[in-house]
Amino acid sequence: MTTTTTNRQFRVREGRQTRDAILTAAKRLMLIKGYNATSLDDLLGASGVGKGSFYHYFESKEDLGYAILDDIVTSFVERTLDPCFADPDGRPIAQIRCFLDRVVEAQRERACVGGCPLGNLASEMSDVHEGFRERLASVFSVWRERLTLALRDAQRRGDVANDCRVETVAQFLVASLEGAILMTKVSKDIGVMEKCVGELKRYLAIYEPARP
């Protein structure tokens, strides 16, 4: 390996670390303060990078916001969705319950602070920024579709009754979880989240056929 190649790899690694430092600081700030209330100076101070470095990796604060959204979605899929739905032979209803439990644990780990990053951005930006609204709508659609597919698979297996309107139930689950996360954030009580998720599980059980 030549010295030139080694130096290039070092610069790439260092550049990735700088970009990640900006993203990490921005996510932490925006989770608490919101997108609009987080200034560029806030971001630079929290990340420890200069303005020149910031504009090397991001064209604007909006560009950074889109990158944060992508990062949040990737983390949500990898840590919360995929671990529960990865097994193609798994029982779909059990996978949905696994997902519900992981959402509860995520709020527990955050000590009920910050709420849902996607929900926060949706609440703050959907009426004032079409670019964010479109991206967030797409994200929630992916989430809803994952649950819809699981419920449809459960119907095919006979684990969910045929009168279950899977698209509507999936939408209800997403909306209910977002509301539960918001109320947990307001109350600072993980018990609120636990009770709401417990009721969602009871709701799902209504569609499960009685076993002999």
- What is the pTM (predicted TM-score) of this model? 0.86
The pLDDT tens digits along the chain (212 residues) read: 555 544 444 344 556 788 999 999 999 999 889 999 999 999 999 989 999 999 999 999 999 999 999 999 998 889 888 899 988 889 999 999 999 999 999 999 999 999 999 999 999 999 999 999 999 999 999 999 999 999 999 999 999 999 999 999 999 999 999 999 999 999 999 999 999 999 999 999 999 987 65
In the chain, CATH 1.10.357.10 sits at: 60-206
Mark residue 209 as left, alpha or beta (left: phi above 0; alpha: psi -120 to 50; beta: remaining).
beta
Cβ-Cβ contacts under 8 Å for 160 (sequence gap 6 or more): 92, 93, 151, 154, 166, 207, 208, 209
Instruction: Report residue 43 as tokens.
Output: 């971001």
Residue of 119, 88, 91, 124 lying closest to 103 (CA atoms): 119
User: How many CB atoms are located within 10 Å of the residue 48 CB?
Assistant: 11
CATH 3.40.430.10 fits 60-206, yes or no: no
Any idea which architecture 1-58 has in CATH? Orthogonal Bundle (1.10)
The CA dihedral of 191, 112, 199, 142, to the nearest 10 degrees, is -170
Phi-psi bin for 50: left (phi > 0), alpha (psi -120 to 50), beta?
beta
Indicate the burial class of 163 (C-beta count within 10 angstroms; 0-12, 13-18, 19 or more).
Answer: exposed
The segment(s) of the chain belonging to CATH 1.10.10.60 are 1-58
Q: Residues near 179 by Cβ (< 8 Å), separated by ≥ 6? A: 196
Q: Tell which residue, 18, 17, 38, has the closest CA to residue 26.
A: 38
